[in-house]
Amino acid sequence: MQVISLALAAETPGRMSEAFNIEAETKSLFTALLDAADTVGKNKVIIEDQDRQPITYKDFILRTFVLSRLFDRVLKREKRIGLMLPTSVGGALSFFALHAHGRTPVMINFTSGLANVKSACLTAKVKTVITARRFVEQAKLQELVEAMGHFVRIIYLDDLRKTVSVTDKLYGLRASTLPRLHAHHAKPSDIGVILFTSGSFGTPRGVVLTHANLVLNVAQIKTHIDLKPEWVCFNPMPIFHSLGLTGGVIMPLLRGLRSFQYPSPLHVKQIPGLLKETKASLIFSTDTFLNQYARNSEPDDFASLEFVVCGAEKVREETHKLFKERYGGLKVLEGYGVTETSPVLAVNYPHDNRHGTVGHALPGMQLRLEIIEGIPEGGRLHVKGPNVMAGYIDLENPDRIEAPHDGWHDTGDIVSLDKDGFITILGRAKRFAKIAGEMVSLTAVERIADEVWPDNRHAVVALRDDKKGERLVLITDHPTPDLDRLSDWAKTHGTPAIAIPKKLVKVEAIPVLGSGKTDYVTLQKLAEVMVEAA
């Protein structure tokens, strides 16, 4: 492997960051939660959701122990437990209740389809999935849950809560008074959660993250960006998604920020008003959802926000422009992460927000770029750091954790680094097409469509071509697209004609996954059917 760059993220350009002390921060999730409560104060209101019943650290820890006792009765000796719950107080409590008595949460992506849900349960050796009746009804998951009943046991949180006895409450009170005595003493190297990759380009993979991975990623974020304890974090991202879990749930709890948990990022008309109502200071989102929030908001809905953190997909220039014009330059901080890095790998700074980049790598991260033949700029990014996963698990060998070689994770992304260490994503390695012997970035082609039609969404896929190897297909929700417009733009800006799609597919909407990422698997199949039928 030919390495073209080596960088270690240390100090923040423009200011001295606080020291990132790995040894001091390495601990279990539950210990980190208790440490945060001691530091901030057990009576601080720390979390609430749409039920509008905010609770303090003291209440959160008490309820966690009560719930862990209820779990003991029904789970017996089971250790890996599926959680299929919305972003909510109940979801957060269930996650930490499993940890309180030494169990491992396995986050189930209920938007991924029955086949992927079954694969996840078999891969993680899950026998029981915890969900909630109200959630199943509201999300219309009855058919999915019924089908899941053939391969896992379903337990409803609502039913469990009805069985709470006086003895359970007394146990919760006693345990929360002496929590370090009653909680399971997990090692930082123990499994903290099993998540599954988004499946944007294929079958989701099981990712094993340790307690240390999650706790240290939170510490890295705090070192990178100065998070104020008086801030309110608004989290609409699903907790089966690594950003929604680590950034939206774990980070506020471990760093003393009050959070508001909201069950779906799809409620684009309700969320802007709730940001104003909850006096939110920051929100985690994707470009797709953020753009829609802005278009459905009133002028003062975002007034309390310090900044917005966007990940999972590129933030379009049109989104930056929208916020600059409508909201007085409210900062949209683009970041970058993958499930395998717990997930945050890099993010822009509030004081040094460089559009077009995903910011600077977090403290403690090492970056290595590998030259890819045919791609003249940048290289394939490999990363190493305390937040890099323990490894993958797969269906064929669920008991074996496939650890990254020498601790280095291959992200599969082609990136470039500037002189200050800011990262620009050029595309996925698998999202390069080879046309007549030349490598073409599908992501770069999508950006051309974004320039020509900035108010619409576009995706580009490659199909096999007998003459040139591959050919590009543009899929767009623009009502009257014309490939000649792209060709004209290319000529004006010196873009080679090879980068212009030769086929066009119009859709009502570009399909996205539950995480907000573009669903390229569905788009690839759609393009194959539509182009062959044409």
Q: Tell me the CATH architecture of domain 436-533.
A: 2-Layer Sandwich (3.30)
* Paired tokens of 514: 């539950």
Average pLDDT over residues 24-47: 95
The answer to whether 1-21+210-429 and 29-186 have equal CATH topology is yes
What pLDDT does residue 484 have?
A: 82
Residue 11: predicted pLDDT: 43
Contact 410, 382 (CB under 8 A): yes
Distance CA 9, CA 21 (A): 14
Residue 295 and residue 200: Cα distance in Å, rounded? 26
Q: Which amino acid is at 343?
A: P
- CB 434, CB 498: distance < 8 Å: no
The token pair at 497 is 């004609």
**Would you say 34 and 183 are in contact if contact means Cβ atoms under 8 Å apart?**
yes
pLDDT surpassing 60 at residue 395: yes
Which SS3 state, helix, strand or coil, does residue 527 take? helix
Q: In CATH, what number does 29-186 get?
A: 3.40.50.980
CA distance 421 to 361: 7
Please state, in angstroms and rounded to a whole number, the distance separating the CA atoms of residues 336 and 187: 28
How buried is 424 (Cβ within 10 angstroms: 0-12 exposed, 13-18 middle, 19+ buried)?
middle
Contact at 8 Å (CB) between 35 and 116?
no
CB within 8 A of 221, min separation 6: which ones?
A: 227, 247, 251, 344, 347, 362
The CATH fold assigned to 1-21+210-429 is Rossmann fold (3.40.50)
Q: Which residues sit opposite 47 in a β-bridge? A: 55, 259
Task: Identify the band that residue 483 occupies on the pLDDT scale cut at 50, 70 and 90.
Answer: confident
Element (H, E) at 479: none
Single-letter amino acid code for the residue at 223: T
Neighbour order of strands in the sheet with 423-428? 3-8, 366-370, 379-384, 409-417, 423-428
Tokens of 245: 């879990």
Tokens of 461: 């896929």
Cα 305 to the center of its chain, rounded Å: 20
* Phi and psi angles of residue 59, each rounded to the nearest 5 degrees, phi first: -65, -40
CA distance 274 to 262: 9
**pLDDT 10s digits, 292-326:** 888 888 888 888 999 888 887 778 777 778 777 77
pLDDT the model gives residue 439 = 63
- Only one residue has tokens 């104020």, namely 228
Provide the percentage of residues in the chain whose pLDDT is more than 90: 55
pLDDT tens profile 148-180: 999 999 999 999 999 999 999 999 999 999 999
CA dist., res. 263 & res. 69, Å (int): 26
Q: Is the pLDDT of residue 13 over 80?
A: no
Domains of the chain by residue range: 1-21+210-429, 29-186, 436-533
Number of H helices, E strands in the chain: 19, 27
Residues 6 or more apart in contact with residue 113 via CB below 8 angstroms = none
Residue 372's pLDDT is 75
Contacts of 444 by beta carbon, 8 Å cutoff, 6+ apart: 426, 427, 499
User: CA 83 to CA 131: how far, in whole Å?
Assistant: 6
At residue 111 the predicted structure's pLDDT band, cuts being 50, 70 and 90, is confident
Give pLDDT, residue 397: 82
User: pLDDT class for 16, splitting at 50, 70, 90?
Assistant: very low
Tens digits of residue pLDDT in 173-227: 999 999 999 999 999 999 999 999 865 445 678 999 999 999 999 999 999 998 9
